Every structure is written in structure tokens, then in C-alpha cells.
Amino acid sequence: MNAKSNPESRLNQYIASCGVCSRREADRMIESGRVNVNGIPAVRGMRVKGTDEVTVDGRPLRGSLNKVVVAFYKPVGVTCTERDRHADRTLNEAFSFPVRLTYAGRLDRDSEGLLLMTNDGDLIDKMMRGANGHEKEYIVRVRSRISDAAIEHFRRGVRLRELGVTTRPCRVERLGDFTFRIVLTQGLNRQIRRMCRAEGNEVVKLKRVRVLNIELGAMKPGEQRIIRGEELEELCRMVSNP
């Protein structure tokens, strides 16, 4: 463990600060027995000191003093996971960076577009909190003509019976008979696909073009760029003040 880190902190917070995952996911890793502290299985809620050795799946963690955020254009067919023997192509195979980074808000295998990669655990934790209402913008193409009634339903909120929830009201703009732009402030599993299915339609292409102030712009599938300067400062401000 990095001696320059906080002399004592909660274990899930330390794991998140190393860029491994969010605090919530760290708790799940601890509960599943994947985390050891000084060779002893960890338990939720425990605290660690600067001299403790923390390992995940047998690998020691090293805190990073230099936080980085990278915008990555995830191509279709890439699964947001490190290891999955059923995946044709994993994120680890599609994305590389000198420092270990993880995603803040996943995209499903059949979707493409902007994925934010970072080793800032606090940033991941704040972005993953649905209550913070961070905006994510998508361009969607569906199989059948999207009706005006469906667009209005999306704006007001759609009941997703399989999840037992109604989606939050959102901004929607028609771009054509089969395409529309939608801005969400929540991150339900496969939300847009479920919303379209509830209206009797099917998504054939889904691209995320913006997360908060970070835009995909003219990037092409597989490309990446480091977020710096005013753009990074604005992202941190927006995440800290939802």
C-alpha cells in the first residue's frame, strides 16, 4: 500500500482510490472473498493503514497520486469487463493505457460511443450514483418508425414492468422517422432498449455521444483522448455539485 496515502481509511475507499472500481463494487469484491489485508480475508467496514498490504485476487494494490480521465470510443461488440470467456472481445483487449483504468458507467456489448475511463475512485463513485442525476446523451436508431406518442411517453417517463420502475422524465428530440436524440439522468440496466421495447419497437443502433460536459465529437471507434485543463476541471465541478 502506498505510504503516501491516508494513514487510515475505509478499505472500500482505498480500493476505489486505486482506480479498481467504485466503492459499492469494492464492497461486493470484499464480500466474495477476493480481497485480503496482510494475507487475511477482508471484511466489509474494516479500515486499513499506510503500512497494510491490500491484495485483490492475489495482486497487491498500489495507490496512484496522479489521477487521469480518458475519453474512449467503445466500438460495438466490446464487452465492458476485464475477463469473460463468453465475450468475443473484452474492454481489456480493446483499450490500453500505461496506468490501470476502469470505466465510470458501462455500455452494453451492442452499444457504442463515449466511455469514460479513469483511476479516480471518487469520480467513479460519484458518477455511478443515480441520485446525482448526471446527464448522458445518446443517438438512437430503431427498427420501426418512432411515433410521436412514443416520443412523448419517453419525455414523461415509461413504465418498465420487468424492473418495476418508471423512468425519469427526460429530454427527447426527433431526428428522423427512425432516429432520435435522448438525454437520460439515470442509468437503469439497458434502459433505452427497454423503453423502446415497452413502446413496441426495437433498437438497431445506440451511440452515447456525451457524458456531462465530455463529448464524443469526431472520435472514431477505438480512439481515445486524455481529458485535461478546463474540460477536466468542469467535469470535476459538475460531478461534485450534482
Domains and CATH numbers, the chain: 8-60 (3.10.290.10), 69-119+219-240 (3.30.70.580), 135-211 (3.30.70.1560)
Banded pLDDT at 169 (limits 50, 70, 90): very high
Taking only the tens place, the pLDDT of each residue in 67-120 is: 889 999 999 999 987 666 677 889 988 998 877 888 988 899 999 999 999 988
Q: Report, as residue numbers or ranges, the catalytic residues.
A: 108
Closest CA to 56 of 83, 90, 94, 84: 83
Residues whose CB falls within 8 Å of the CB of residue 110, separated by 6 or more in sequence, listed in order:
76, 77, 206
Res. 44: pLDDT tops 60: yes
Banded pLDDT at 4 (limits 50, 70, 90): very low
